[in-house]
Amino acid sequence: MALSRAAIVDAGLTILDEYGLGDLSMRRVADALGVQAGALYYHVPNKQSLLAAIADQILSSLPTLPERVTSDDGGPGRVEGTQRHLTSWAHDLRAALLTHRDAAELVASSHALGLGSVDPTAEGRDLLARTGHPEPEATVAALLHLVLGHVVEEQTRAQMHALGVVEHFDPALAERHFRVGVATFVRGVAAVG
């Protein structure tokens, strides 16, 4: 099979899951594809753009929010609906990140650098804008940071635990802390003004 950008991204994702972000090198990706490292640069400009493409692939599995909010007429259930949707957006994002090793760190750096074509905040921002929130941009950015920061820590600690660097790690506790953090923020979103 001929080398292609898609095949490179795919091999990269496999190596990410198997060896982690720290051991994801261009040479290793090339090896997995039975090719010299230099060959990759015919299909991908550099390592960072490859990492961004892998981050995009991971984010592309994010479910789309139901559009119920749009058809809502602005009655008393509007704010509660927004809260629910924002909360499930955060939990969906976490779930998507947990499906691949070091995904949170990868997505966080790709997002900070402004690379990557999949914007995970798009849905949440639209949701807030539709419901008339005065600061959709800053609000969804803050929630994204909260989610990414939590999952980065969660995935790092889980790996250290798996590697025997004991440091007791309780997945259920991590999830509860996540829920509390998201709920706290979403309460603040509801209490605008």
Binding site for DNA (CB under 7 A): 2-3, 23-28, 34-39, 41-43, 46-48
150 binds, among a second copy, DNA, none (CB under 5 to 8 A by kind): a second copy
Nearer to a second copy among residue 27 and residue 145 (C-beta): 145
Residue 190, CA distances (Å) to 79, 80, 81, 83, 193 in order: 6, 8, 10, 7, 9
Question: Judged by CB under 8 A, does residue 49 bind a second copy?
Answer: no
Please tell me the distance from the alpha carbon of residue 138 to that of residue 144, in angstroms, as a whole number: 10
Is residue 13 helix, strand or coil? helix
Nearest Cα neighbor of 63 from 85, 100, 94, 89 is 89
Options 34-42, 72-80, 116-124, 170-178: segment touching a second copy (CB under 8 A): 170-178
Number of other residues whose CB lies within 10 A of the CB of residue 28: 16
Question: Judged by CB under 8 A, does residue 112 bind a second copy?
Answer: yes
Q: Which residues bind a second copy (CB under 8 A)?
A: 108, 111-114, 135, 137-139, 141-142, 144-146, 148-150, 152-153, 156-157, 160, 167, 176-178, 180-189, 191-192
